[in-house]
């Protein structure tokens, strides 16, 4: 599935042996608005100290695509953990936005290059103005974002995370309500985290279940009717003690 998560992007379901694409993650409601920004920032030598009196960031207009986790080498490159399955977010040069700790609005910054590290689910990117390890270290923990209006077009059988969260999940054969989708867990196959209906959850400690979001198990996704129909194999929905 394709993902850029709360603000996630999630795409489709794995089918016929091909991994489906995810979309991106949006924190808040989906609003396509015109974004006005100032000049591209030059990274400061140290991260700003969060101000507890600062306003809460308003991120309704933004999609989170990745988190900077560490410097890569000594030349200012950065390791980024993606929450987007769109490689172009990290590999195609152009404007991106950087949200620093304590800031209320992302600031524009230029992506110069990017490459994927096989088997580590990380990208290594180069940003304009980040020339050494110290400047890269100052960006550790910062979030990379794009405007919510920049949602990529999804293909057939692909979905955005926000379109899936909140859908009710039903057994296709019996019509029994299983629960409500509360999150999407990235994995080899993306997983629907479903909060179990009280008739299934009971007093047990386990209140959620993970359901592979593949066509064989979730053959019906009806956004208009706010429902997903599943045909789980025996034992998938059993509650663990």
In whole angstroms, give the CA distance from residue 9 to residue 2: 6
Residue 83 neighbours by CB under 8 Å, 6+ apart: 3, 4, 5, 8, 24, 25, 64, 65, 66, 67, 186
| pLDDT tens-digit series, residues 84-133 | 888 999 999 999 999 998 888 999 999 999 999 988 889 999 999 999 99
| pLDDT tens-digit series, residues 145-163 | 999 888 777 777 778 787 8
pTM given for the model = 0.59
In whole angstroms, give the CA distance from residue 22 to residue 54: 33
DSSP code for 153: P
Q: 203 pLDDT exceeds 80?
A: no
Please report the pLDDT score of residue 148 as a whole number.
84
In whole angstroms, give the CA distance from residue 32 to residue 34: 7
pLDDT band at 27; cut points 50, 70, 90: very low
In whole angstroms, give the CA distance from residue 149 to residue 141: 24
Please report the pLDDT score of residue 2 as a whole number.
54
Average pLDDT over residues 224-237: 92
Mean pLDDT of the chain: 78
pLDDT band at 24; cut points 50, 70, 90: low
């Amino acid at each position: 599935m394709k993902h850029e998560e709360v603000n996630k992007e999630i795409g489709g379901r794995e089918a016929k042996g091909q991994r489906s694409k995810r979309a991106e993650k949006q924190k808040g409601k989906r609003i396509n608005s015109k974004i006005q920004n100032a000049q591209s920032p030059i990274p400061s030598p140290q991260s700003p100290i969060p101000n507890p009196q600062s306003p809460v960031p308003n991120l309704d207009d933004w999609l989170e695509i990745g988190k900077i986790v560490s410097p890569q080498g000594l030349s200012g490159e950065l390791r980024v953990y993606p929450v987007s399955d769109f490689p172009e977010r990290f590999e195609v040069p152009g404007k991106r936005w950087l949200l620093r700790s304590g800031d209320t609005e992302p600031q524009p910054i230029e992506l110069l290059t990017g490459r994927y590290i096989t088997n580590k689910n990380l990208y290594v990117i180069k940003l304009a103005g980040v020339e050494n390890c110290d400047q890269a270290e100052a960006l550790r923990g910062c979030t990379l974002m794009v405007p919510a209006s920049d949602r990529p077009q999804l293909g057939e059988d692909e979905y955005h995370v926000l379109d899936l969260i909140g859908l009710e999940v039903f057994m296709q054969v019996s019509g029994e309500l299983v629960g409500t989708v509360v999150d999407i867990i990235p994995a080899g196959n993306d997983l629907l985290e479903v909060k179990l209906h009280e008739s299934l959850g009971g007093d047990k400690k386990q209140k959620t279940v993970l359901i592979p979001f593949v066509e064989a198990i979730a053959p019906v996704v009806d956004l208009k009717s706010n429902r997903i129909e599943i045909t789980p194999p025996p034992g998938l929905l059993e509650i663990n003690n």
